[in-house]
Amino acid sequence: MEISSAYLDILKKEGNKALAICQNLNTNKEFRNTVTTIIDDGFRGVNYKAEHILLHDIVKVFDDFEDIHVDTAKVSAKVKFILVYFYEKLQGKDLSKAYDLKKLNELPLSSQFSKNVTTVRNTSFFEPIDEVKTEFALPVILAKFKSDQLLSIGSFLSRIASLIVNADGIITEKERDFLKRVSHKTNHPKIVVKKAGYNEVPENDTLEIVLQELNELIGLKDIKKNIEDLTNFLKIQKIRKEKGLKTSSNSLHAVFMGPPGTGKTTVARMLGRIYKHLGYLEKGHLVETDRAGMVAGYVGQTAIKADEIIKSAIGGVLFIDEAYSLTSGGFNDFGSEAIEVLLKRMEDQRDDLVIVVAGYPDEMQEFIQTNPGLQSRFNRYFEFDHFTAEALLSIFKLFAKKADFILTEDAEEKLMEILDRIYEKRHRGFGNARTIRNLFEKIIERQANRIVSITPITEEILMTLTEEDIPEILKTVKEIILFEEEE
């Protein structure tokens, strides 16, 4: 085993990025609130920080790696060094500053070092609920409140797995499978939501910040213009009211029509924030749900279930995805009961509750027309269209940037060929940004398999996506189109 200065630089840079993310999360109220929802009941009094939860996940990577080896005594000392390095780093201590290279190479050979490794592995950094025991906890938390940091943390854990596998310069088939499992679990974290997704307005948020974020969204030109026009109208209505002038009736409920992955949830979240800053909503938070969150399977239970979710959205926005499914159950379906509860709450809380229903255009028009109450309450319609191939490339590059990856020119050309063909063959259920997210994850898995045997492995190698990492064009297009049509 040899730990070089270049290798230490890789560990240091990875550690600095992870530590910065953790420190940022610790100041995020949404993060702190979400953590409490997956803590084991016996540990609710513990004030867990993001560093603790990330250490829990790093130890899990190490433990899962050891599990695939019959003789754990043969696991490289360099692997154990990686574990100890990040344990110290996430507690604010950099081993590369505390010891010189000679001493660092001697550390893993001591009996005390082995004892330290055992201590780290046995430490209870974070105790989650049973549903998360076998998961990577931090990605689960980040996915639950839809944090932008999910990609960064998922990629970090995948890179730790790559460094561990690459420590001895040899990769087995079992280790390749191990890397795929880590990548899949970190990029597809288990969703742990009992009732609905809950998204609070960020701390120190302002109307200017929201509108800037809206303007920076990729594509959505018409949607941005519609939101800007609505914002200006509401501003003027507020000024007229303050001056004692008559104002128009402001129905803020909206229908979002469009295919999946086109930003409907993101825009709904921004709408809540805009309404809050303009004084139309008290909190401006967003509660996301669907038929499953509102409809029960027994007589009398749907009203209770729906009312509970709607109440949680008072002061903010209730976003109901695929809302037309509330009326698609046929005779004696309980969905109609949920609609009646919804209409009553819209009337009772008309000054402090906004409902946004979303789904495919044809189905949403039929849904609104099924009930006169829905027709009278929804008069704002926003049409979301498929992203162009150029926009899809920009979305891919955004995913890559957030996860510390860059595309070579050849890789970008090959990827663009895939996107052009996908866009040309798209159908109404095409997943847009969701499809690009899945493609991105497939590509970084291919990259991990390509570079895992490279020694020494540099930061540039870890970050670069080459033409070889982009899957075969025709096969990829066929898989995406067929898979999404089957869904």
Q: Does 214 share its domain with 349?
A: yes
Residue ranges of alpha helices (H) inside 278-350 are: 291-294, 301-312, 335-348
In a shared domain, residues 178 and 323: no
- Which CATH number covers residue 283? 3.40.50.300
Beta bridge partners of 321: 358
For helices 137-144 and 29-36, angle between their N-to-C axes, nearest 10 degrees: 120
Q: Are residues 46 and 84 in the same domain?
A: yes
Domain that holds residue 26: 5-192
Let me know whether 340 and 262 are in one domain: yes
**CA pair distance 129, 151, nearest whole angstrom:** 23
Phi, psi of 130 (to 5 degrees): -55, -35
Q: How many CB atoms lie within 10 A of CB 293?
A: 21
Tokens 């990609």, located at residue: 151
Given its phi and psi angles, is residue 375 left (phi above 0), alpha (psi -120 to 50 degrees) or beta?
alpha
Write the pLDDT tens digit of every residue in 117-171: 999 999 989 999 988 999 999 999 998 777 989 999 999 999 999 999 999 888 9
pLDDT: which is higher, 158 or 106? 158
pLDDT tens-digit series, residues 235-252 = 999 999 899 998 887 789
Q: 303-335 in b/e burial notation, b at 16+ Cβ within 10 A?
A: bebbbebbebbbbbbbbbbbbbbbbeeeeebbb
Whole-number Å distance between alpha carbons of 347 and 373: 10
Q: Give yes or no for a contact between 325 and 291, defined as CB atoms under 8 angstroms apart.
A: yes
My answer on whether 107 and 203 are in the same domain is: no
Average pLDDT over residues 110-119: 89
Token duo for residue 377: 């309450």
Q: Domain check: are 236 and 180 in the same one?
A: no
Q: What percent of the chain has pLDDT over 70?
A: 95
Same domain, 41 and 185: yes
Q: Do residues 370 and 468 share a domain?
A: no
Q: 8 versus 198: which is more confidently predicted? A: 8
CB half-sphere exposure, 72, CA atoms < 13 A: 10
Give yes or no: residues 399 and 346 share one domain.
Answer: no
Domain boundary among 350, 365, 383: 383
Q: How far apart are CA 455 and CA 457, in angstroms?
A: 5
DSSP of 30-46: HHHHHHHTTB-GGGTT-
Residue 287's DSSP bridge partners are 198, 318
Structure tokens at 315: 């002061």
Boundary residue ending a domain (164, 192, 220): 192
**Residue 486 pLDDT grade (very low, low, confident, very high; cuts 50, 70, 90):** very low
β-strands 381-383, 464-465 pairing: unpaired
303/402 same-domain check = no
Report strand pairing: 381-383 vs 254-257: parallel
Backbone torsions φ then ψ of 287, nearest 5 degrees? -110, 120
| Domain boundary pick from 175, 192, 209 | 192
Could you read off the pLDDT of 44-89 as tens digits, one per residue? Answer: 788 999 999 999 999 999 999 999 987 766 778 899 999 999 999 9
Say what the pTM is.
0.77
The total number of structural domains in the chain stands at 3
What's the CATH number where 394 sits? Answer: 1.10.8.60
Q: Are residues 101 and 242 in the same domain?
A: no
Looking at the structure, tell me whether residues 369 and 251 fall in a common domain.
yes
Structure-block tokens of residue 432: 């847009």
Both tokens of 143, joined, read 């996915």
